[in-house]
Amino acid sequence: MTTLITGATGFVGSALVRCLLDAGHQVRVMVRSTSALANIQDLDVEIVTGDLAEPDSLRNAVKACDSLFHVAADYRLWVRNSNELYRANVEGTTALMQAAADAGVSKIVYTSSVATLGLNSDGSPADENTPVSLGDMIGHYKRSKYIAEQAVQQMIVQQNLPAIIVNPSTPIGPRDIKPTPTGRMVLDAACGRMPAYVDTGLNVAHVDDVARGHLLAFEQGVFGERYVLGGEDMTLQQIFEVISQITGRSPPKIKLPHNLVLPIAYLSEAWAWLMRGPEPRATVDGVRMSKKLMYFTSDKARRELGYATRPAREALADAVDWFLKHNYCAK
């Protein structure tokens, strides 16, 4: 049984490759010609070159595959050209789903995100059925993932696409080779580079548990259903306190109000735009998102898939250990 994975060189994708290999899958990974392969180095996988922006390459990638895990996504909270997010996350996803359908792929697991789900105004954990609309989506990343998920759901209904949707929360752990926005926050705290913060709430899950959740969705999930793959709800202050205990560094002491940080985020983005620099530490969308507690429950996945998670502290410890071992504080 040949299984194709997109996004295999990334954070969640590389964890999933290891999980599927351990489960006995013959794994094919689709990588771009410019992809760094460090995260899958020395793994027994078949490598094919493809790009979500090139439909012909997608048809070649899914050829003779029995199953597909579509993990790849453009995850950035700030980008100069927002069309890049929609091309990858929406157009690329629909093109890949169509290629898989045309090739007769028998089962698909599509990696969406809790970013597409609603949030409860009282801060209680949200789930797969919490009401939400496109108008609730803050920023182009969330909008692109929401539209992509809607497109996949439409194909499930209209074309009988054999797809299961998973919605990971905030994966943390080893091999975050190009740190995600959350991974960068953990890194900065571990390196003592975060004197102040804006408090919010996140659902933290070990990346290897999220990968295992993908496999469980493949084995036990129902076509057309969504499953939140989360972990433990924590405030940002609690996360920093745990990192402080792990590293021995003092946690950030200054908690800034959202209304103070928002103008700083606008200025940071303007500076990054003018100087053609990297994504700024403080982004407007990130600050706007942080005004709500992003708490979620994985009860459905636990009940229907047998999903289980380890304590969030282990995820944070493994992330910090990996960053420090690979000298990320000097980067």
Q: What is the pLDDT, as a whole number, of residue 127?
A: 97
Give the pTM. Answer: 0.94
Q: What is the pLDDT, as a whole number, of residue 259?
A: 82
Query: Is 226 a domain residue?
Result: yes
Query: Is 219 a domain residue?
Result: yes
Ranges of the chain whose pLDDT falls below 70: none
Q: Which two tokens stand for residue 110?
A: 């599509």
Query: Is 105 a domain residue?
Result: yes
Place of tokens 């794994």: 27
Q: What is the pLDDT, as a whole number, of residue 213?
A: 98
Which residues lie below 8 Å from residue 293, measured CB to CB, with a gap of 6+? Answer: 119, 123, 200, 201, 233, 235
Spatial separation of the C-alpha atoms in residues 52 and 35, rounded to whole Å: 13
Q: What is the pLDDT, as a whole number, of residue 40?
A: 96
Query: Is 237 a domain residue?
Result: no
What does 66-82 look like in DSSP terms, one character per residue? SEEEE------S--S-T
Q: What is the pLDDT, as a whole number, of residue 270?
A: 78
Q: Count up the domains in the chain and report the number.
A: 1
Q: What is the pLDDT, as a whole number, of residue 299?
A: 98
- Its sign, for the CA torsion 212, 127, 7, 329, is negative
Domain CATH for 120 = 3.40.50.720
> In residues, how long is the chain?
331
Query: Is 143 a domain residue?
Result: yes
Query: Is 323 a domain residue?
Result: no
Query: Is 284 a domain residue?
Result: no
Q: What is the pLDDT, as a whole number, of residue 291?
A: 82
Spatial separation of the C-alpha atoms in residues 93 and 101, rounded to whole Å: 12
Q: What is the pLDDT, as a whole number, of residue 253?
A: 87
Assess contact for 86 and 140: CB atoms under 8 A.
yes
Q: Which domain holds residue 116?
A: 2-174+206-230+295-309
Q: What is the pLDDT, as a whole number, of residue 128?
A: 98
Segment 171-202, tens digit of pLDDT: 999 999 999 989 999 999 999 998 888 889 99
Q: What is the pLDDT, as a whole number, of residue 51?
A: 94
Query: Is 101 a domain residue?
Result: yes
Spatial separation of the C-alpha atoms in residues 146 and 81, rounded to whole Å: 18
- Count the Cβ atoms, other than its own, within 10 Å of residue 81: 9
Q: What is the pLDDT, as a whole number, of residue 84?
A: 93
Exposure of 256 by Cβ count < 10 A (0-12 exposed, 13-18 middle, 19+ buried)? Answer: middle
Place of tokens 């771009």: 32
